[in-house]
Amino acid sequence: MVHLRIRDLREDRDMSQVEIAQVLGMSQTGYSKYETGENSVPAAVLDQLADFYGTSVDYLLGRTDQPEPYPKKK
């Protein structure tokens, strides 16, 4: 599920894998393996992607279909 969500979010923003890999500080090849499901996405990368896309990690993981993040606790 994660690989499909991160690919869709990237494509919705008309961004390349190279651009997202640069945001994450990694190679395009490494990032590509996340999108194909070849490698699991580490929690730290999920957190970065959720922040970048303005969504929740739960959405990326498929635990919710609501892309809006939870309100931040005060």
Question: Mind listing the pLDDT tens digit for each residue in 22-64?
Answer: 999 999 999 999 999 999 999 999 999 999 999 999 999 999 9
Q: Is 41 left (phi over 0), alpha (psi -120 to 50) or beta?
A: beta
Tell me the pTM. 0.87
Cα separation of 55 and 38, whole Å? Answer: 23
- Domains along the chain? 2-61 (1.10.260.40)
Which segments of 1-74 does DSSP mark as H helices, in order?
A: 2-12, 17-24, 28-36, 43-53, 57-61
Band of the pLDDT at 70, cuts 50, 70, 90?
A: low
Instruction: From 14, 36, 17, select the one nearest 28 (Cα to Cα).
Output: 17
